[in-house]
Structure 1
């Protein structure tokens, strides 16, 4: 009679589902990426970054140094080394057919990076990140150059933030 009316079965199913849910949640480990408990900030502050080859790579490098150390400057004693290669590509996407001139464009900043331990050279994280910044081309040439430079800076800042998040996640696992 207990199983025939369905209430006993539904109670049993609910109880089993509750036990299964508690078991699944017990295995979860939630830890904020920016928490200071794991010592991630100290690890980030001990990352040295490779020298830059061009202006945009220098912008990414400067943004990363600021993000890693909170504005304290470059790491003096580096436990980790971040090797970077940054590329920039600018393309016009909206062309005025009559004047044969682009009116808007896209600036794509992409960076390949490799994080290694300074002492052993063991690779901890590597990857490629990119960001796209749109730009309007004014008719004045200097204004156009300045608009492209501003778009490169925006793309560099976004790439630096993405790389910082990747490096912080890799160092938090250590």
Structure 2
């Protein structure tokens, strides 16, 4: 009688669907995008970074040191080493035809990186990350240079955050 009127059957189906959904969600792992799994903070804080060759590479390096250690500085006995090569391009994208000058542009910062284990030299992660920052070119030369520098700093910070996410991902798998 319970199954013959249809209401018991729909309750049974709903109950089974609820149990199946709960079982499927039990295997899910949800965590914030920029969080680090437990144990990864210690690993990421023991990454040394190669010396910089120019101002923008130094900016990326400084941002990475801060992101890796939370402002504590570089580790004394690093377990991992991050080798970087950073390049910068300034590209004009909006040309004023009457004066033949660029009015707006893009600063593109690219970084090739290689994360290795310090003792064995084994490569754990490598790749290339690129970030672009838009910039307006004012008529005054000093203001133009300052705008380009600000755009370089913004793009360098973004590249550092991308590399940090890659390094954290590689170290969480170890």
Using the size of structure 2 for normalisation, the TM-score is 0.88
Moved over 3 A (4+): 1-6, 30-35
How many residues align? The count is 173
Q: Which residue of 2 aligns with 1:118?
A: 118
Alignment-derived partner of residue 35 in structure 2: 34
Q: Which runs of 5+ in 2 are unaligned?
A: none
Separation in 1, partners of 2:123, 2:14: 47
Deviation by residue 1:61-107 (Cα, 9 ceiling, x = unmatched): 11111211122221210101112121211111111100000011100
Once residues 4 and 95 of structure 2 are traced to their aligned partners in structure 1, the CA distance between those partners, rounded to angstroms, is 74
* 1:78 alignment partner, SS class: coil
Aligned residue runs from structure 1 range 100-115, under 5 A: 100-115=100-115
Segments of 5+ residues of structure 1 without an aligned counterpart are none
Question: RMSD across aligned C-alpha pairs, in angstroms?
Answer: 2.0
Match of 1:22 in 2: 22
Shift of 1:2: 5.7
Deviates more, 1:91-100 or 1:110-119: 110-119
Shift in CA distance, 172/31, structure 1 to aligned 2, threshold 3 Å: farther
What displacement does 1:4 show? 5.8
Matches within 5 A, 1:1-174: 5-32=5-32, 33-34=34-35, 38-174=38-174
Aligned residue for 2:121, secondary structure, equals coil
Whole-angstrom distance in 2 between the partners of 1:124 and 1:162: 16
Return the TM-score normalized by structure 1: 0.88
Paired with 2:106 and 2:4, the residues of 1 have a C-alpha distance of 68
Taking the aligned partners of 1:125 and 1:13, their CA distance within structure 2 comes to 48
